[in-house]
Structure 1
Amino acid sequence: MSVTKSPRPPTAAPPAGEGRRRLGVGGLLAALLLLLAVVAAGLAIGARQYSLGEVWHGLLDPHAPAYTVVRETRLPRTLLGLLAGIGLGLAGGVMQALTRNPLADPGLLGINAGASAAIVTAITFLGITSVAGYVWFAFAGAGVVSALVWAVGGGRSATPGRLALAGAAVNAALFAYVSAVELLDTASLDRMRFWTVGSLAGARPSTVTGVAPFIAVGVLLTAVLARPLNALALGDDAARALGARPGGTRVGAIVAVTLLCGAATAACGPIVFVGLMVPHLVRALTGPDLRRLLPYCAVLAPVTLIGADVLGRVVGRPAEIQVGIVTMVAGGPVFLAVVRRGRAVGA
């Protein structure tokens, strides 16, 4: 007599949210390891290349042959790239969420141009040349342009297309002003010719300490805004129903973008495409949830910026190509290819 065995009940699959959380944490750890590798490359690679052992001794031993280059030159440069990358990446993510436009970017919408115009004015007409002196002008310029683009684009009724057009118009006008000032003042042109293309080469310890507090406040503010911005994406009425305040969220987002972009631009110059490409591509991995997207942006944007700086040193050796040129040359075709193939997430 045969005995029929009852079928074994299927094993319960783990909840989808738990699987996504594990994948997100694992991917973020991998991104952090990549960032660590890029930081090491930033310290080791340049006109003169050092091994990791020489870099380690150069960081810790004042009598090491590599101390002057590694500790006093490359370390501030790499740290500045880290801070500026965090600022530009988070600013791009917040701006794309605020405008509901996956192609929004602090550079393309004129925020960086506003900071640049204010700094050029401070350098040319007021004689201010230190980061500590003109960082406040950068904040003022970025804040004014943020409000101007928002107003010209239609305010609360703004559409992604109108904001993009308003930003492009303001961007063109401000860069025309910057170019005119530089051409009319040769001394200003000599002082600003590397800054206006975006560069980490002039980084000093004082530059890093000068912008770090503003980047830190901007990072904290974006962390607080992640959930309200998620709610705002559903519309003002739904956001209010979820406990968010649309007006306060928009103001907070503009303040965060102003702090992040103003500090990064004051220290490095107007670097474009980092704040556009990184959030745009990260969204394909994390989805639109800012609680996942923003941490990835904060890690992968510095990877992009420091990596571009290292690439400029290698390609231009024994001189170097400024990081702003590298991001523009590398980022432009990549972005156009993504748009042309219809892979723009949310577009």
Structure 2
Amino acid sequence: MRRNFPLPALILGLSPIAIAIVILTSILYGARNIEAHVVWEAFVHFDAGNVNHQIVMHSRLPRAIGAILIGAFLAMSGALMQGMTRNYLASPSIMGVTDGSAFVITLCMILLPDATSLDMIAFSLIGSALGTGMVFGMASLVPNGMSPVRMAIIGTVIGTFLSSTSAALASYFQVSQNVSFWYNARLHQIDPSMIKVAVPFAIVGIVTALLISRSITVLSLGDETAISLGQRTTLIKAVATAAVVILTGISVALAGKIGFVGLIIPHVARFLVGLDYRWIVPCSGVLGAVFLGLADVMSRFLNDPFETPVGVVCALFGVPFFLYLIRTRGGKKHA
């Protein structure tokens, strides 16, 4: 069903305000609540000797920005994956993409213990490509392997294999403590310098996703229809996969594995704005940013005074949603 123009435009138009509110909320609330005027002073008159100013500028602001960026990246990746595969269960976490990144990062920690931020991002991108290639390669060898449920099973199996192998390697080479960050995503440990290094990669990934979104709309109608309309389906899938690899790889490098954002948010965006991926992709980015930002804030209060990993908060929403999709959609591809 085609939706009217104003709703997606409204979502994108209000996105700066919504994101600003989420960032401000993330900065204000936590183990130590900080008053708004203190936050303002930290921005305009930073005092290195003021503990609250240090918390605002060096902990909570990078954390809030990281949550916003990662939420957007994962949601856009999920939208691209669901559109090009016509698989309503497709997402970076279910299809083994994030596990591939974490696996290669583990190898990086073992082989290059003094790796730079750029090294970590590069290894994470390689891992994303590895996980994607393994899942789609295996699915192409299995009868009816491209069906939604079978792809989800294949992705889960390969993801479990990669994460188990990573755990074994980390234990053997005694880097478990370092590697645990990427398997138990903790945004409060995000490295501000890595955010700066990731920006150029993020721009490439986002621009590619937006440019390919029109073709994803046609591709989502099915390969035969897309070919009949003159689409070069193989090229489109390759470019879309590259965008997914970049955006997911950056996300894992920044904060580790975070599941379900790429599964839930594209469905919400599709419900709100219709079936045109020119709207679904950017709106997924906005909604994903807001969702993960709020999930991060929620993680600070679920088990106060201790923090709950943000992945657990996402799973509280994601697992029921995943089961709902299985129950209502069965093995059908989305239209």
Q: TM-score, normalised by structure 1?
A: 0.87
Which residues of structure 1 form unaligned runs of 5+? Answer: 1-15
- 8 Å Cα contact 1:194-1:322 kept in structure 2: no
Deviation readout 1:306-341 (Å, 9 max, x if unpaired): 111111122344332221222223422343245446
* Whole-angstrom CA distance in 2 between matches of 1:328 and 1:157: 26
Which range moved further: 107-116 or 312-321?
Answer: 312-321
1:167 is the counterpart of 2:140: no
* Whole-angstrom CA distance in 2 between matches of 1:304 and 1:112: 19
* Whole-angstrom CA distance in 2 between matches of 1:337 and 1:55: 41
Shift of 1:238: 3.1
**Aligned residue type for 1:258:** V
* Whole-angstrom CA distance in 1 between matches of 2:297 and 2:115: 26
Deviation readout 1:106-137 (Å, 9 max, x if unpaired): 11110000001000111023324543222111
1:320 is the counterpart of 2:307: yes
1:97 is the counterpart of 2:90: no
* Whole-angstrom CA distance in 2 between matches of 1:157 and 1:228: 24
- 8 Å Cα contact 2:76-2:262 kept in structure 1: yes
Which residues of structure 2 form unaligned runs of 5+? Answer: none
* Whole-angstrom CA distance in 1 between matches of 2:196 and 2:68: 13
% same residue? 29
Of structures 1 and 2, the larger Rg is shown by: 1
| Alignment equivalent of 2:185, drawn from 188, 198, 222 | 198
1:28 is the counterpart of 2:16: no
Shift of 1:22: 1.5
* Whole-angstrom CA distance in 2 between matches of 1:75 and 1:290: 31
Tell me: CA distance 1:282–1:332, structure 2 relative to 1, closer, same or farther (3 Å): same
- 8 Å Cα contact 1:274-1:305 kept in structure 2: yes
- 8 Å Cα contact 2:95-2:156 kept in structure 1: yes
* Whole-angstrom CA distance in 2 between matches of 1:330 and 1:23: 24
Deviation readout 1:246-278 (Å, 9 max, x if unpaired): 111011011001000001001110111011111
Which range moved further: 260-269 or 137-146?
Answer: 137-146
Please name the residue that 2:239 is paired with: 252
* Whole-angstrom CA distance in 2 between matches of 1:134 and 1:42: 26
Q: TM-score, normalised by structure 2?
A: 0.90
* Whole-angstrom CA distance in 2 between matches of 1:130 and 1:48: 31
1:83 is the counterpart of 2:69: yes
Deviation readout 1:219-263 (Å, 9 max, x if unpaired): 000011111111112333432443421111011011001000001
Q: What is the DSSP-based 3-state SS (H/G/I as helix, E as strand, rest coil) of the residue aligned with 2:242?
A: helix
Please name the residue that 2:210 is paired with: 223
Please name the residue that 1:284 is paired with: 271
Which range moved further: 91-100 or 153-162?
Answer: 153-162
Tell me: CA distance 1:112–1:335, structure 2 relative to 1, closer, same or farther (3 Å): same
Please name the residue that 2:172 is paired with: 184
Tell me: CA distance 1:44–1:278, structure 2 relative to 1, closer, same or farther (3 Å): same
* Whole-angstrom CA distance in 2 between matches of 1:183 and 1:328: 26
**Aligned residue type for 1:246:** T
Tell me: CA distance 1:319–1:129, structure 2 relative to 1, closer, same or farther (3 Å): farther
Deviation readout 1:25-74 (Å, 9 max, x if unpaired): 12333454332211111111111112222222212211284321111211
1:236 is the counterpart of 2:223: yes
Q: What is the DSSP-based 3-state SS (H/G/I as helix, E as strand, rest coil) of the residue aligned with 2:90?
A: coil
Q: Aligned residue pairs: how many?
A: 330
**Aligned residue type for 1:335:** F
